[in-house]
């Protein structure tokens, strides 16, 4: 596994993958902070495109990513990760919305678990998932980071001019 780090407005980010696909985007702080494993090899080159696209995202210049992804996930988690990628930039969905999208409206807790174990945060936008009542819920990078990402997207999405966010 290759890895690199990049600085961002939300702190240092870990990028890791096999040289072809991004497998991990992790935070340096928060409940799910992570760093490189001892047997990983530092290499910046495989992550040039991901770093550029993330820089554009944080500058408000990119709303969708075009990066090869290979998250390690179970079949159910994979369906949840695909559903997360369907949430439009600047919008949010509830855990119930995602459970319905994966065909199992009773799997709200399982959706929460899959969302919380998303290995490629930001690019697979788990930060766009909120409580059914509209409240912000836990986030691997911490609540301040989640709030920052949602505010960033809302400020560049044009939804403010349309009267606020849309929740599914």
The set of catalytic residues is 126
Helical axes 108-116 vs 75-84, angle rounded to 10°: 80
Token representation of residue 97? 């919305």
Report long-range pairs for 116-120 (Cβ below 8 Å, ≥24 apart): 116/32, 116/140, 117/73, 117/77, 118/71, 118/81, 118/84, 119/23, 119/24, 119/25, 119/26, 119/71, 119/72, 119/73, 120/22, 120/23, 120/24, 120/25, 120/69, 120/71, 120/81
Q: What length does the chain have?
A: 168
43 contact partners, CB below 8 Å, separation of at least 6: 2, 3, 4, 19
Helices then strands, counting H and E runs in the chain, come out as 5, 6
């Amino acid at each position: 596994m290759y890895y690199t780090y990049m600085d961002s407005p939300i702190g240092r980010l870990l990028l890791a993958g096999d040289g072809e696909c991004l497998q991990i985007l992790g935070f340096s702080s928060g409940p799910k902070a992570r760093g490189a494993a001892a047997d990983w090899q530092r290499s910046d080159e495989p992550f040039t495109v991901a770093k550029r696209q993330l820089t554009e995202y944080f500058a408000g210049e990119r709303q969708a990513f075009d990066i090869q992804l290979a998250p390690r996930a179970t079949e159910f988690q994979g369906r949840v990760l695909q559903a997360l990628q369907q949430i439009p930039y600047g919008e949010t969905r509830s855990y119930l919305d995602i459970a319905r999208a994966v065909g199992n409206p009773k799997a709200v807790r399982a959706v929460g678990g899959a969302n919380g174990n998303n290995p490629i945060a930001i690019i697979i936008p788990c930060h766009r998932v909120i409580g059914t009542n509209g409240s912000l819920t836990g986030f691997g990078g911490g609540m301040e980071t989640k709030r920052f990402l949602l505010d960033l997207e809302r400020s560049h999405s044009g939804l403010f001019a349309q009267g606020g966010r849309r929740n599914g």
